[in-house]
Amino acid sequence: MARDPLRTKLCDMLGIEFPIVSFTHCKDVAVAVINAGGFAVLGEAMHTPDEISADIKWIRDRVDGKPFGIDLVLPASVPPTGALDELMTEIPDTHREFARQIKEKYDVPDPKGPVALHQWGGLNQEMARAQLEVLLEERVPVIASGLGSPVFILEAAHERGIKVFGLVGKTRQAKRQVEGGVDAIIAQGYDAAGHTGAMGTFSIVPEVVSIAGDTPIIAAGGVTTGRHLAAALCLGAAGVWTGTLWLASRESDVDMIVKEKLLAATAEDTSYSNCISGMTMRTLKCPWTEEWSKPEAPAVLPAPYQMLLSSDYIQGANDHRREDLMTEAAGQGVGFVTTMKPARQIVFDLIDEALTALEELTGEVE
């Protein structure tokens, strides 16, 4: 009898039915995916320790003991100084004027309230450590680090029965983390939403697999169909990490206007730019990204200055729900996200498509 090709070592490690990891900021999506047999990692980077604790309880109450993960953004570098008020005064007049011209050209409304900027800067480590303490205390099944290396918390996590995943954009980062003993690596390609490395998914996944030994590798970046899942398994991955796929799901708390934009978007509607934050990330194109890509635009400022500059546009667009201005992080696989479906249905569709794709290749899959 043929082996179930979708039963991978990631499934065995986590005790899940399908090798599908949903990365989401929405608790309802997470619970729906978990209860459909997949695995979900809830992005909590911007939440306070109390909020994280409450969210963990909320999920636990709804998944009947099934495992789940919490993702934090561990900083990997921090500048030597930086107080928000001081930084605001350091933005050059040329850049303020360019932002003002965009605001005027597109009639960008003022935010309804003070711009909700959180001061990370020198507080990066303090915030992250407080968040990590909650995850250790709560003994969440999986801690995932969306950026920096999580190796320093491995011993404390493993003592509590917690598994630790690290997301990487380069093979050398994966090698360092595998040597450090992480339980799984998410190899994220350039196709992904948000912060990505420079390597494409099709290149980084097999390269990381080749150095990872028995550590499960989870493929990320542009994964939105069962064919992507099948391809990832053929590349040696033990599962897929998916984000964009869930943004327009029925349970998702993303604004309906943005959901409709996502459903209509193709890969060419995404932009890989540093003009929103000063750090490169992939988002849906919007007037802000388009204007900053023009030759006459001033050079993008480094983080956090550029975010201080763009925050008025972003929040004004969101507060007034201006379809023509709003944006969202989205990967290049967004073109396959065309229907608003329940998360459970998305899981099952991925599995059906993957099995079909593998059957077409081998003719042996049951």
**By rule CB under 8 A, what string of x and - marks binding of each residue 60-79 to another protein?**
-------------xxxxxxx
Which of 56, 143, 231, 300 touches another protein (CB under 8 A)? Answer: 300
Nearer residue to another protein within complex by CB, 18 or 313: 313
Q: Is residue 153 close enough to count as binding another protein by CB under 8 A?
A: yes
The reply on whether position 303 binds another protein by CB under 8 A is: yes
Residue 116 engages another protein in binding (rule: CB under 8 A): yes
Burial 131-170 (b: 16+ CB within 10 A, else e): bbebbbebebbbbbbbbbbbbebbeebeeeebbbbbbbbb
How many CB atoms sit inside 10 A of residue 256's CB? 12
**Is 329 a residue that touches another protein (CB under 8 A)?**
yes
Residues across the chain: 366
d(Cα 243, Cα 286) in Å, to the nearest integer? Answer: 20
For the CB of residue 6, give the shortest distance to another protein in the complex, in Å: 30
Residue 194 found at the interface with another protein (CB under 8 A)? yes
Q: Is position 254 an interface residue for another protein (rule: CB under 8 A)? A: no
Does residue number 119 form part of the binding site for another protein (CB under 8 A)?
yes
Angle between helical axes of 343-362 and 27-35 (0-180°, round to 10) = 50
Confirm if 222 and 314 have CB atoms less than 8 A apart: no
**Quick one: which of 61, 86, 114, 118 contacts another protein (CB under 8 A)?**
118
Q: Does 147 bind another protein (CB under 8 A)?
A: yes
Tokens of 342: 């329940």
Please answer whether residues 40 and 140 qualify as being in contact, where contact means their C-beta atoms are separated by less than 8 angstroms: no
- Number of CB atoms found within 10 A of residue 16's CB: 23
Binding mask 201-220 for another protein (x = CB under 8 A): --------------------
Q: How many chain residues interact with another protein (CB under 8 A)?
A: 68
Q: Provide the pairing of β-strand 217-220 with 163-168.
A: unpaired
Q: Which of 151, 264, 297, 340 is in the footprint of another protein by CB under 8 A?
A: 151
What CA–CA distance (Å, rounded) separates 154 from 48? 22
Q: Which stretch binds another protein (CB under 8 A): 11-19, 48-56, 307-315, 332-340?
A: 307-315
Which of 8, 31, 38, 124 lies at the binding interface for another protein (CB under 8 A)?
Answer: 124
The amino acid at 200: G
The residue with tokens 């990365």 is 23
- Residue 91 is a binding residue for another protein (CB under 8 A): no
Rounded distance between C-alpha atoms, residue 31 and residue 337, angstroms: 20
Tokens 């992480």 label which residue? Answer: 182
Q: Does residue 311 bind another protein (CB under 8 A)?
A: yes
The footprint of another protein (CB under 8 A) covers 25, 43, 45-46, 73-81, 84, 115-126, 129, 146-153, 155-156, 169-170, 172-173, 176-177, 180, 194-197, 274, 276-281, 299-305, 307-308, 311, 314-315, 329
